[in-house]
């Protein structure tokens, strides 16, 4: 992947260490920075979102619900560790997992093939191979693990696990704090956080403004990628009705505004070959720009994150850099419980107004032939 143009240093004090509600704010009272091409950066609150969109625009949201995906355990030598459980590998009993410190701040770098983790209720996870490179036997970020559980891993994790959290967060918010107003389809290891500030009031204001809302589903895996590491393959579904809404919006000159990078990935996967469900390994970036998405509602990403490449592909490096510079100067809060950004570049149509519709099932990532058996 090419390098990110947006360079910055994130001061530790800008991390959102607690929920907005713990700071006395409603979900839709987090700050909203609006960066629109040809205009000065504007500062608002999220409940003002509708005033920055136009009648005929379409906001596309992710209906994936966050599940408990972190389980506390012990390594063979007694050291505590937290196992992040991403998803089951299709056609296999192996699960993709990540090992991190108990506070979530650091990944475990000295794990190797064959290591075991003792987990609640007598369950033991065994690291079988590195992932996605099975030849890597030491220090892989992700692993394929065998987790034999009577009755299935998914239900067990739901009973003994908790939401994935990282070192910047204080306390242990309940799973409900990680759900968006759109959450309906359980499957995400981590919250599709761009949708968290939406409330019934915000949706009502969008409707009164003449802004449409459409849905996709993309189940996120663990997102603690290393600098320069592409996002993992993820399972997505785009309903036929959403395809029709996108086509109609573009035909009428409206803008398609994605709520989060997950929505961009799902929509752009359909734009490539027309398949509406399956595994996607698509990486949207400057060398692979979006065809359908004209704007983006997003949180704030860390320096060097691969998500910044996607933001630059949607909005252009200059607009993204302006937004991040202004956010740092104004003290916006980062991470999943932080503030929001609306990026509105000049919409330059790529010529894609009707999506391709080839026959067949979902778009498959290499080596993945079926949907996950359990999420």
Per-residue model confidence as pLDDT tens for the chain (375 residues): 455 577 888 899 999 999 999 999 999 999 999 999 999 999 999 999 999 999 999 999 999 999 999 999 999 999 999 999 999 887 888 999 999 999 999 999 999 999 999 999 999 999 999 998 999 999 999 999 999 999 999 999 999 999 999 989 998 999 999 999 999 999 999 999 999 999 999 999 999 999 999 999 999 998 766 656 677 889 999 999 999 999 999 999 999 999 999 999 999 999 998 999 999 989 998 889 999 999 999 999 988 777 899 999 999 999 999 999 999 999 999 999 999 999 999 865 444 555 666 544 444 444 444 444 443
Residues 231 and 104 in one domain: no
pTM (2 d.p.): 0.91
Residues 213 and 300 in one domain: yes
CB 66 within 8 A of CB 182: no
As given in the structure block, the two tokens for residue 143 are: 């692993």
Scan for tokens 């972190």, then name that residue: 70
Could you tell me how far CA 143 lies from the centroid of its own chain? 20
pLDDT at 134: 93
Residues 205 and 307 in one domain: yes
CB 172 within 8 A of CB 164: no
Residues 126 and 58 in one domain: no
Residues 314 and 242 in one domain: yes
pLDDT at 363: 45
User: Residue 75 falls within a domain, yes or no?
Assistant: yes
Q: Is 307 left (phi over 0), alpha (psi -120 to 50) or beta?
A: alpha
As given in the structure block, the two tokens for residue 289 are: 């720009």
User: Residue 4 falls within a domain, yes or no?
Assistant: no
Scan for tokens 């629109």, then name that residue: 36
Q: Please calculate the CA angle 140-226-125 and round it to the nearest 5 degrees.
A: 35
User: Residue 322 falls within a domain, yes or no?
Assistant: yes
The residue from 105, 129, 160 where one domain ends is 160
As given in the structure block, the two tokens for residue 235 are: 């399972």
Residues 244 and 300 in one domain: yes
Residues 16 and 110 in one domain: no
**Is the preceding peptide bond at 267 cis, omega within 30 degrees of 0?**
no
pLDDT at 64: 98
CATH code: domain of residue 199: 3.40.1780.10
Residue 29, judged by CB atoms within 10 A of its CB (0-12, 13-18, 19+), counts as middle
pLDDT at 226: 62
| Helix H or strand E segment including 30 | none
pLDDT at 359: 46
Q: How far are the Cα atoms of 112, 193, 219, 374 from residue 115, in angstroms, in the given order?
A: 6, 33, 28, 24
Residues 55 and 82 in one domain: no
Q: How far are the Cα atoms of 110, 157, 275, 280 from residue 272, in angstroms, in the given order?
A: 39, 35, 8, 11
Helix 306-315, helix 317-330: angle, nearest 10: 120
pLDDT at 163: 97
Residues 181 and 222 in one domain: yes
Residue count (the chain): 375
User: Residue 154 falls within a domain, yes or no?
Assistant: yes
pLDDT at 360: 46
User: Residue 234 falls within a domain, yes or no?
Assistant: yes
* Number of domains the chain is built from: 2
CB 310 within 8 A of CB 284: yes
Residues 76 and 58 in one domain: no
Query: What domain range is 236 assigned to?
Result: 12-66+171-344
Could you tell me how far CA 92 lies from the centroid of its own chain? 25
């Amino acid at each position: 992947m090419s390098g990110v143009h947006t360079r910055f240093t994130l001061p530790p004090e800008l991390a959102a260490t607690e929920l907005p509600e713990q700071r006395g704010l409603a979900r839709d009272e987090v700050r909203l920075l609006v960066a629109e091409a040809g205009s000065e950066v504007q500062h608002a609150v999220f409940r003002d979102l509708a005033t920055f969109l136009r009648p005929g625009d379409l906001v596309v949201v992710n209906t994936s619900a966050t599940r408990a995906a972190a389980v506390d355990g012990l390594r063979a030598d007694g050291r505590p560790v937290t196992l992040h459980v991403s998803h089951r590998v299709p056609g296999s009993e192996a699960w993709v997992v990540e090992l991190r410190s108990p506070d979530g701040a650091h990944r475990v770098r000295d794990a190797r093939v064959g290591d075991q983790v003792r987990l609640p209720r007598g369950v033991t996870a065994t690291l079988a191979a590195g992932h996605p490179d099975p030849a890597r036997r030491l220090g892989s970020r992700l692993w394929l693990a065998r987790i034999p559980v009577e009755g299935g891993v998914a239900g067990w994790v739901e009973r003994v696990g908790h939401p994935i959290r990282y070192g910047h967060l204080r306390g242990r918010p309940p799973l409900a704090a990680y759900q968006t107003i759109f959450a309906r389809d359980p499957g995400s290891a981590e919250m599709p956080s761009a949708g968290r500030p939406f409330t019934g009031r915000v949706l009502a204001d969008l409707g009164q403004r003449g802004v449409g809302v459409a849905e996709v589903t993309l189940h996120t895996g663990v997102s603690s990628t290393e600098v320069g590491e592409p996002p993992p393959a993820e399972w997505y579904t785009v309903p036929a009705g959403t395809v029709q809404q996108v086509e109609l919006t573009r035909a009428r000159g409206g803008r398609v505004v994605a709520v989060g990078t997950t929505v961009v990935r799902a929509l752009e996967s359909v734009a490539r070959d027309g398949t509406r469900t399956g595994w996607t390994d698509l990486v949207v970036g400057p060398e692979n720009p979006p065809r359908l998405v004209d704007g983006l509602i997003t949180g704030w990403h860390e320096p060097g994150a691969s998500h910044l490449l996607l933001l630059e592909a949607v909005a252009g490096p200059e607009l993204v850099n302006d937004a991040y510079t202004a956010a740092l100067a104004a003290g916006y809060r980062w991470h999943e419980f932080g503030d929001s950004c609306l990026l509105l570049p000049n919409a330059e149509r790529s010529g894609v107004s009707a999506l391709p519709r080839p026959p067949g099932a979902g778009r498959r990532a290499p080596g993945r032939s079926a949907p996950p058996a359990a999420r």
